[in-house]
Amino acid sequence: SDLQKQAERGELLQPLIFILLVSCSVLLYFKVSLMDPVFVKPEEEAEVYHFMNGRKCWVTAQVPSNITLRRCGYCLVKQPMRAKHCQLCQHCVRRYDHHCPWIGNCVGERNHPLFIVYLSVQLLVLLWGGHVAWSGLHFEQSWDWLKHNIVLLVSFLLIVIFTIVVLLLLISHLYLISSNTTTWEFMSHHRISYLRNSELENPFDQGVVLNLWRFFC
């Protein structure tokens, strides 16, 4: 059959990979949207810690010792450092980055790495879709051509716009991650006490390689 011949020539491989990427993008979208970004619970201690080699280790940052971690004025929990209250989610979020209307959820400590993976896969899908749409356009200066290709042309323009948005968003996030800074900290540096009163411009920066390693691994 024709389908079998196409499979033997490898012509079905690219459509299958594209469908797989689209499916992966949709699954990542729902995963990031529904995932708990780590909402601060009332019973949690204010100190920030992590586990290393099976032991609880305190995360140290070169911040002034006179800074008092404040209690949230909305949900009344003690906020760990780098946490912020999201009025849309009605919770304080650990290592708060931003509330993304695209996914309808906060991007925080737990789902931030997966959010970057989602953006990367989405960018691949958009670039591939843009290439397919462009390959189907054979420009002619006539109204008949425009009438028959208007849907494809509009689709291509929308793909270009979304590609630029996702690309800029991904680049900006990777830049902030490489310096161990969140979007909230970058935008509100002058209003955050542990940054405003610190002797260092960014007390959490431990070098590009270590910042990337600790974020993704």
Q: Considering only the C-alpha atoms of the chain, give the largest distance between any 2 of them, rounded to a whole number of Å.
A: 77
Q: Which 3 state secondary structure label does DSSP give 106? A: strand
- Assign residue 207 a region (left: φ > 0; alpha: ψ between -120 and 50; beta: otherwise): left
Catalytic residue (choose from 24, 72, 75, 100) = 100
Cα(37)–Cα(107) distance, integer angstroms: 6
The answer to whether residue 72 is catalytic is no
List Cβ neighbours of 104 (8 Å cut-off, separation of 6 or more): 33
Residues labelled as active-site residues: 100
